[in-house]
């Protein structure tokens, strides 16, 4: 049985990676050759990441990553390339993601509700704490 391959993220034209010259290339030249980065540094705007991920989808197995290429380009303040780092699949590490999540409001549909097909709504008292009358105490009566 033949797996299907799918490439996610940044796509290089015809496969080879153009050489990035430290000190010579600038943000402008990279934009021209490679185009804009997949993602920028969260707090370091002048770090660009080109992330490509080739994955194999086979029947019921969890899709596994065959190849990955991450090119991290750091520019110094005047926009020329200061440092280029490359990471590939071998750098990836096993991470068991924390199960806890930050709570959000909103109620799951109760089973009965779902089967009967009507959609429950978000009770405001659960959120704003005041009684359910809009505008807290008093309604239109108050200001007429």
Partner 1 sequence: QPAQEQAPQLDAQSLQEEQGPVRVMQILVEGNQRVEADTILSYMLVRPGDVADPRLINLSMQTLFATNLFADVRVGIEGSTLVIFVRENPVINRVVLEGNRAINNSRITDEIQLQPRALFTRARVQADVQRILEIYRRSGRFAVQVNPQIVELPQNRVDLVFEISEGPTTGVRRINFVGNRAFSDRRLRSEVVTSEARWWRFFSSNDNYDPDRLEFDREQLREFYADRGYADFRVSSAIAELVPDQSGFYITYTVDEGQVYNFGEITVTTEIEDLSSEYLEAIVSTRPGSLYVGSRIEESVDTLTFAAGAAGYAFVDVRPRVRTNRETQTVDIEYVINPAPRVYIERIDILGNSRTLDRVIRRELELVEGDAFNQVLVNLSRQRVRRLGFFENVEITPVQGSSADRARLQVNVTEQPTGELAFGVGYSSTDSFLVDFSVSERNLRGRGQFLRFRVSESSRRRQIDIRFTEPRFLDRNLAAGFDLFQVRSNFSQEASFETESTGFSLRTGFPLTASVEGGLNFTLRNDEVRTFAGVSSAIARAAGSRLTSLVGYSVAWNRIDDFRRPTNGFQMSLNQEIAGFGGDVRYVRTEGRGAIYRNVFRSDIVLSLTGETGLILGWGGDDVRINDRFFKGGNSFRGFETAGIGPRVVQRNTEGELIRGDALGGNFYAIGALELGFPLGLPEQYGVRGSLFTEFGTMGILPSVDQIADVGGTTSAFTIDELAPRVSVGVSIFWDSPFGPVRFDFAEALVHQEYDRREFFRFSTSTGF
Partner 2 sequence: CQGNRNRAELAYVARPVETLYNNAFRELERRRYTQAAALFDEVERQHPFSEWARRSMLMAAFANYQATRYEQAIANAERFIALHPGSSSAPYAYYLIAISHYERIYDVGRDQSTTQAAYDALQQVVRRFPDSPYARDARLKIDMTRDHLAGKDMDVGRWYLRNGFHLAAIGRFQNVVREYGTTSHVPEALHRLVEAYVAMGVAEEARQVAAVLGHNFPGSAWYQDSYTLLTSRGIDVPGEGIEESDPGLLRRAMSRIFG
Footprint of partner 1 (CB under 8 A): 1-2, 5-15, 35-36, 38-39, 51, 57, 59-62, 108-109, 111, 114-117, 119
14 vs 78, beta carbon nearer partner 1 = 14
SS3 state at 52: strand
- Segment 43-72, which members bind partner 2 (CB under 8 A)? 43-44, 47, 49, 51, 53, 55, 62-63, 65, 68, 70, 72
13 vs 128, beta carbon nearer partner 2 = 128
Residue 81 C-beta: closest distance to partner 2, Å: 16
Partner residues linked to 88 by β-bridges: 69
In this structure, are residues 81 and 25 in contact, taking their beta carbons and an 8 Å threshold? yes
Structure tokens that stand for 92 in this block: 């990836």
Q: Which does 97 bind (CB under 5 to 8 A by kind): partner 1, partner 2, none?
A: partner 2
18 vs 63, beta carbon nearer partner 2 = 63
> Long-range CB contacts (< 8 A, 24+ apart) of 40-48?
44/74, 46/74, 46/75, 46/76, 46/77, 46/79, 47/72, 47/73, 47/74, 47/75, 48/72, 48/73, 48/75
Q: Which does 18 bind (CB under 5 to 8 A by kind): partner 1, partner 2, none?
A: none
């Amino acid at each position: 049985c033949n797996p299907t391959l799918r490439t996610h993220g940044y796509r290089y034209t015809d496969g080879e990676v153009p050489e990035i010259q430290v000190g010579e290339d600038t943000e402008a030249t990279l934009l021209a050759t490679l185009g804009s980065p997949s993602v920028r540094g969260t707090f370091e705007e002048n770090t660009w990441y080109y992330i490509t991920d080739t994955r194999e989808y086979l029947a019921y197995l969890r899709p596994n990553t065959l190849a990955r290429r991450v090119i991290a380009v750091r520019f110094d303040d005047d926009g020329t390339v200061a440092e280029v780092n490359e990471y590939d699949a071998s750098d990836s590490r096993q991470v068991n993601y924390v199960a806890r999540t930050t709570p959000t409001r909103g109620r799951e549909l109760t089973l009965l509700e779902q089967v009967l097909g009507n959609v429950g709504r978000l009770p405001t008292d659960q959120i704003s704490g005041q009684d359910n009358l809009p505008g807290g105490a008093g309604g239109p009566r108050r200001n007429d």
